Structure formats: structure tokens, C-alpha cells
Amino acid sequence: MNGKIQADMTLDCIGLACPMPIVKTRKTIDQLADGAVLEVQATDKGSLADLQAWARKAGHQYVGTITEGEVLKHYVRKASTAEAKPEIRYPHTASNEELAQRLASGDDVKVLDVREAAEYAFRHVKGAISIPLGQLASGYDALSPDSELYVICRTGTRSDMACQWLAEHGFSRVKNVLPGMTAWTGETQSEVEGN
């Protein structure tokens, strides 16, 4: 064996940000035969956690990732019809406006931002807690299962996966904020000087 991973198809997602690597992967994997391996090339650091969570949710097998310079090469094996699961969206959502109103009224709600640390650092909802999706399994103990949690990301994709994961782990008062930071007009803060 030469150490090179053989993929049945390669998908170029270089330069694309969330949710586009997942959107393109979802469309492309549907074209492959059962058991085929898709190589997804991406530069979005969040794509690692996104693809792992999406593959698990959809029943596909996340095989692994190789980093070559700035490019992440993710490998996903398409599930057979028997293995595949229908994609389910988290049912409890809140609009950006609803969250802004709850925060302005002083309600005891927590905002969980599951974007990558760099995204959070530049601009986030004032007072939001940062736990990137890929670190949720090891960092969720900082959250109280009894808290009312509004989960936000850039577009609602990562936050949807995070809400499902939190619900599976005993958090019953969780809402996915849509459409997320791309359309957030409420109060924000930055950890970056000069921003």
C-alpha cells in the first residue's frame, strides 16, 4: 500500500465557508454508489466538526481527515440504503428578533455560540458563551442543562447539529437561532482590538 487514500470522487470546497461545504457534500454524496468514498477538500477549519456531525446525523461514515498545508481533506463513506438515516432538523427554533427581544428584556437566557473561535472573536452576540461545535462534547459541562439556551452560529447549520446533540444529552430548553449571525442586528461585541 502506498499510503495514499483512494477516493471515488473529490469535491472542491476550498475557500467556501459554512454552510457551503455541507450543502455541496450532501448533494454530491447522493450521486455516489453505496459504500463509495468522497474526498471533500476544504479550507474552512469548522468543516471538520461540521462534516463529522453531519455524517453521524445522516448515517454516513466519517472516515478521517488529512491536513495538507491549509487544505483539509475529509473522507466520508456513503452509507448503504439500510444504513442511511433521514436528516432531521431540530424542531425548536427562535428568530434573531426573538432572541434580541429576550436579551433586551433581561430574561435569564444564555446564548451559546458554536462557531469557530476566530469567528466568535471578531463578532458575537454580547455575553455569548463560545464553545465551537467540534469542542461541544468536551466543553458542554460548562453549561447547565436547566438553562434556557439559545444556540447560534453563522447560518443555523452548526447550531442545528449542536441543539440536537445537547437535547440528546439532557438539555431540554434549547432553541436554534435562525438565520444566525449572518443577519444578526442586535448588540454585539468583539474580542479583537480595532474591530
Q: Catalytic amino acids?
A: 18
Closest CA to 159 of 72, 65, 49: 49
C-alpha separations of 108 from 84, 142, 168 in Å: 39, 16, 23
Closest CA to 158 of 48, 84, 68: 48
Judge contact between 195 and 123, C-beta under 8 A.
Answer: yes
What's the one-letter identity of residue 20?
M
